[in-house]
Amino acid sequence: MAKSLLAWLALLALGLLVLLAGGLGWIDAGGKIHVDRIIAAGRRSLVEKKGANPNSSTSASSVPVVGAVDDPEMVASEVHMAINASTSRRELGFLSCGTGNPIDDCWRCDPNWQLNRRRLADCGIGFGRNAIGGRDGRYYVVTDSSDDDPVNPRPGTLRHAVIQDESLWIVFKRDMVINLKQELIMNSFKTIDGRGVSVHIADGACITIQFVTNIIIHGVNIHDCKPTGNAMVRSSPSHYGWRTMADGDAVSIFGASHVWVDHCSLSNCADGLVDAIMGSTAITISNNYFTHHNEVMLLGHSDSYERDKAMQVTIAFNHFGEGLIQRMPRCRHGYFHVVNNDYTHWEMYAIGGSANPTINSQGNRYLAPINPFAKEVTKRVETEQYVWKGWNWRSEGDLLLNGAYFTPSGAGASASYSRASSLGAKSSSMVASITSGAGALFCRGGSAC
């Protein structure tokens, strides 16, 4: 009798929820649930609480730069709520193409995604969730793959697009390989959106996000980046200047905030694949496929640079694949949420750090290499145990395979490995489906991506 009553109450609640969702426009006449509208409603609520106008247009000059949040644990909790919500909707059959990945389930089910590209900006999660890129600007179509003059770029080139002062959503007319002569120095409020075509930034300089805000990099292949510099490079329509030598990172984030790198394929660069330093914060690195590289990701400038204490980075749904050695990531000072990633290759270690970073590892799958001396997921870099034993590094729900082990410290040391394993079997069992589309997607207009 009690079970029947509970079932009846559950059906009643579901019915009320459906009625509410329909009244709010979350479900259309055909019964389709619009996840993006639910997420956007939450975003509007957040903006309204802050006293802003969600319908106003956004420009680089009118929107304040907001950095680190006061409660990073709250943001980590919101990420898990989003994952659980997508998982529940998938199990209930609401999303026939759903994977349980809340970013992808927000936009990939839409067969008209090509007509609704800017919806992507409302799908972010984690610390970089408020990066809107060029959502409120016009479309800019890249028609020319050349990069002949970094000081006076031709209209139609990617460099001409990213240096503009206005908000822009940048797309590409056709497949192209872009060989950059010098760093691609981005201006604020830009989205680089490679969906629908195959775009490679390769065999030259790559992307620099320096002292700007609200950047989205999505759906591009970035590889074989080389050191460049000692040259003049334009960074805006009104300014160009001398650039010293760049390291050869695929994506270099320097003193920037609200940055989201999603669904990119990155490999084989001279320095890092994604490096964030010098006080950068509010960053999400998600759905990327990393391969064939040594030092994958550096987050934090140096042990002595304490401004990086404000750094907050979410690393979610990525596949760390073949040919990787270390730094997935290597952290300093800040707060790093590493959630539902698939680690299938490393040679030295997966996650490292120094200078007392907080590392929150949840629901990842760690497959250790054959080498019996490289089974440990974690590495405290050049630090004695009596120093790092108080650092807050914790593992919750991680799946540790082939002898992999995570050495917790600080508050995380109180959780036993058996408890972590029992939680991990449930949460990390979804990693394969969540990360199945990691990297640049092959999408064509007219069908779900």
* Token couple for 239: 């300014």
Rounded to an integer, the average pLDDT of 111-121 is 96
Q: Provide the mean pLDDT of the chain.
A: 85
Can the peptide bond before residue 408 be classed as cis, meaning omega within 30 degrees of 0?
A: no
In the chain, CATH 2.160.20.10 covers 138-434
Torsion sign over Cα 63, 64, 67, 73: negative
Give the residue with greater pLDDT, 293 vs 449.
293
Residues 22 and 292: their CA atoms lie apart, in Å, by 48
In 72-198, DSSP assigns E strands to 138-142, 168-172, 176-178, 184-185, 190-193
Model pLDDT, residue 427: 61
Q: Kindly list the distances between the CA atom of residue 285 and the CA atoms of 19, 254, 289, 363, in Å, as whole numbers in the listed order.
A: 36, 15, 11, 16
pLDDT, one tens digit per residue, over 173-201 is 999 999 999 999 999 999 999 999 999 99
* Token couple for 341: 């990633």
Residues 339 and 341: their CA atoms lie apart, in Å, by 6
Confidence of residue 47 (pLDDT cuts 50, 70, 90): very low
Give yes or no for a contact between 128 and 335, defined as CB atoms under 8 angstroms apart. Answer: no
Name which of 6-20, 67-81, 336-350 the model is least confident about. 6-20
Give yes or no for a contact between 106 and 95, defined as CB atoms under 8 angstroms apart. Answer: no
Rounded to an integer, the average pLDDT of 340-345 is 97
Give yes or no for a contact between 439 and 265, defined as CB atoms under 8 angstroms apart. Answer: yes
Q: Does domain 138-434 have CATH number 1.10.10.10?
A: no
Rounded to an integer, the average pLDDT of 84-99 is 70
**pLDDT above 70: residue 263:** yes
Instruction: Compute the C-alpha angle 250/172/205, nearest 5°.
Output: 25
Residue among 90, 108, 119, 327 flagged as catalytic: 327
**pLDDT above 80: residue 333:** yes
Name which of 151-155, 242-246, 425-429 the model is least confident about. 425-429
Element (H, E) at 214: strand 213-218
Question: Is 234 one of the annotated active-site residues of the chain?
Answer: no
Element (H, E) at 295: strand 293-295
